[in-house]
């Protein structure tokens, strides 16, 4: 094919051939006196030297429990210093860190712990409406009569240690602070010796994909996967030791722990946590008072910042760059971020947990028109192709499914060879499930999910295109478009619209706005005005929830026309 939709990230920059622990030690020495970690809600401000001291203490403490390289250890917590310490300490000790979604409840926690066979779990006492201690005591009644480390629980048979954060003590649980005692010289020497035996292809992290159906899958990532992805993410932003990154995205997700903490580590930058979870004013205060040069977030976070009544009161002039990812970024939002938030070099990122996560990213010098309309260029050392339903590469400008291959593709789904084989084909290509279009310069635009594409009377409609049109309306703050069943056309469009504060509009107003501007079949039949959207804790809109709610409200079935 003359103009095949295939690109590979040829690069003179070699991949990092180290484990996270090895690079962490080097960075801690090279940037010893520079600020490494600021956790504003805990009053913590550590240099790289101080961070290493705390990490080594925790790593030795974990090994003191009898945990061995390859053992799985879960963490169930909001953003805090303990999470960051655990991320680096487990990497140094060769333990596989299992990220537990802070929003999980009893059955989800039980599933995750048992699926990967965690020997230990580090838990926060509580977060928002979740009382983690209470849930653990419900699931593990044996804790009350157990000594720490001697747990033998019916519902979680492989779990031996429950380690709780905070100052209080709970029967059967070990205090996190107990793991931070000063290690002996022999323990430190043993930790360093262990670090030299670890391999960069070893599994080091398991992240459960949210999934819309069935049980979550444990994407298993190596040192090599996430360390290199973090480095090249920083390189695209022009990152260096003088940068200070505001991280309001959750650590349990790749956005926080790879594009956040690891990106800072690989470039000697400072990690700044404004709060234990996303809070608009905390972010604005952190950027202003810490003089942050970069800010990460999903589009909904940036929309919330821009539209806050006190936004104009804050000095954000220190900002330069950051990553906006997690869901497609509306073009109008991108333009406001680059101007009103001074983030002229903000980058758009695209990827998935299974690819560590980024496969595409715009660069600091990417022309604005490309930065606001595409997800940039392929990452270094990564291959991407776009294929049709038969698996054949499509031409430039044609829509197909995006596939990724290279160092960033996960090791597989933990203990699930069939689901792994369903996602990674025999040639090593990871199937994304995302619909994409590539232009002649290699820039890619994500036009929707394979499952989200709406087929109305034989016409293929990509919701992203309709959403972008609605974003040009001055009264609209946010919009999401889905397909709902229809007896005549198979599917019809439905738009959920959130208006800006103080604005009013009718369904007829919205339809009139569309007339003569977009094709008649792209004008939504159903329009709902809403105050919010169902979303995951990482800020991803859950369109499958929207679809189900509309089916119930409208009394629609999934009957389709032939």
| Residue pLDDT, tens place only, 39-88 | 999 999 999 999 999 999 999 999 999 999 999 999 999 999 999 999 99
Residue-level pLDDT at 135 = 94
Per-residue confidence band for 142, with pLDDT thresholds at 50, 70 and 90: very high
Q: State mean pLDDT over 319-345.
A: 90
Per the CB < 8 A criterion, the answer to whether 5 and 398 are in contact is yes
Radius of gyration of the chain (CA): 24
The model's pLDDT over 279-328, given as tens digits with 9 standing for 90+, comes to: 999 999 999 999 999 999 988 899 899 999 999 999 999 999 999 987 76
Q: State mean pLDDT over 259-286.
A: 98
Residue-level pLDDT at 369 = 83
Q: Answer yes or no: is pLDDT of 559 > 60.
A: no
Report cis status (omega within 30 of 0) of the bond before 357.
yes
Residue-level pLDDT at 562 = 24
Identify the weakest region by mean pLDDT among 163-172, 216-225, 462-471.
462-471
Q: Answer yes or no: is pLDDT of 422 > 90.
A: yes
Quick one: three-class SS letters along 113-132? HHHHCEEEEEECCEECCEEH
Q: What is the pTM of this model?
A: 0.87
Q: How many CB atoms lie within 10 A of CB 304?
A: 19
**CB-based burial of residue 92 (10 Å sphere; 0-12 exposed, 13-18 middle, 19+ buried)?**
buried
Residue-level pLDDT at 212 = 40
Instruction: Report angle CA 281, 335, 384 to the nearest 5 degrees.
Output: 105
Alpha helix segments (H runs only) across 310-424: 331-340, 368-373, 417-423
Pairing of β 347-351 and β 358-361: antiparallel
CA–CA separation, 369 and 83 (whole Å):
38
Domains within the chain, CATH numbers bracketed: 20-208 (3.40.50.12780), 221-380+405-413 (3.40.50.12780), 454-554 (3.30.300.30)
Residue-level pLDDT at 465 = 82
* Torsion over CA: 239, 240, 246, 247 (sign): positive
């Amino acid at each position: 094919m003359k103009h095949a939709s295939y690109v590979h990230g040829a690069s003179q920059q070699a991949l990092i051939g180290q484990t996270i622990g090895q690079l962490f030690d080097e960075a801690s020495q090279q940037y010893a006196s520079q600020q490494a970690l600021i956790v504003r809600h805990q009053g913590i401000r550590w240099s790289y030297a101080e961070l290493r001291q705390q990490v080594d203490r925790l790593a030795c403490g974990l090994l003191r429990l009898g945990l061995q390289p390859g053992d799985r250890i879960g963490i169930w917590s909001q953003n805090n210093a303990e999470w960051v310490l655990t991320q680096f300490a487990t990497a140094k000790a060769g333990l596989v860190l299992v990220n537990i979604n802070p929003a999980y409840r009893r059955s989800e926690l039980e599933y995750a712990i048992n699926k990967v066979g965690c020997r230990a779990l580090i838990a926060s006492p509580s977060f928002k409406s979740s009382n983690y201690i209470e849930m653990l005591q419900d699931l593990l009644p044996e804790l009350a009569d157990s000594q720490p480390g001697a747990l033998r629980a019916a519902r979680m048979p492989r779990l031996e240690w429950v380690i709780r954060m905070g100052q209080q003590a709970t029967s059967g649980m070990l205090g996190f602070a107990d793991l931070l005692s000063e290690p002996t010289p022999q323990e430190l020497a043993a930790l360093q010796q262990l670090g030299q035996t670890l391999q960069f292809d070893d599994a080091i992290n398991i992240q459960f994909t949210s999934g819309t159906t069935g049980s979550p899958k444990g994407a298993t990532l190596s040192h090599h996967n996430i360390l290199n992805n973090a480095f090249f993410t920083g390189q695209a932003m022009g990152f260096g030791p003088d940068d200070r990154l505001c991280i309001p995205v959750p650590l349990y997700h790749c956005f926080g722990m790879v594009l956040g903490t690891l990106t800072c580590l690989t470039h000697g930058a400072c990690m700044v946590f404004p709060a234990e979870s996303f809070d608009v004013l905390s972010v604005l205060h952190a950027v202003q008072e810490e003089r942050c040069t970069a800010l990460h977030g999903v589009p909904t976070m940036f929309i919330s910042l821009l539209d806050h009544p006190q936004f104009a009161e804050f000095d954000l002039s220190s900002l330069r760059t950051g990553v906006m990812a997690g869901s497609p970024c509306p073009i109008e939002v991108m333009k406001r971020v680059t101007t009103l938030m001074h983030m002229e070099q903000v980058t758009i990122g695209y990827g998935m947990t299974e690819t560590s996560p980024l496969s595409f990213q715009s660069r600091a010098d990417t022309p604005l028109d490309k930065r606001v309309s595409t997800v940039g260029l392929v990452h270094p050392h990564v291959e991407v192709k776009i294929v049709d339903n038969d698996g054949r590469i499509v031409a430039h400008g044609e829509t197909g499914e995006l596939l990724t291959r290279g160092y960033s593709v996960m090791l597989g789904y933990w203990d699930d060879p069939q689901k792994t084989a369903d996602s990674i084909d025999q040639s090593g290509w990871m199937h994304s499930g995302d619909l994409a279009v590539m232009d002649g310069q290699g820039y890619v635009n994500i036009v929707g999910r394979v499952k989200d594409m709406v087929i109305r009377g034989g016409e293929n409609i990509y919701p992203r295109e309709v959403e972008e049109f609605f974003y040009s309306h001055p009264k609209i703050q946010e919009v999401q478009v889905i397909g709902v069943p229809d007896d005549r056309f198979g599917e019809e469009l439905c738009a959920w619209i959130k208006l800006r504060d103080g604005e009013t509009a009718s369904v007829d107003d919205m339809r009139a706005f569309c007339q003569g501007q977009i094709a008649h079949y792209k004008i939504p039949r159903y329009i709902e005005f809403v105050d919010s959207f169902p979303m995951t804790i990482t800020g991803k809109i859950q369109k499958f929830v929207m679809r189900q709610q509309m089916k119930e409200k409208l009394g629609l079935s999934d009957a389709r026309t032939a």
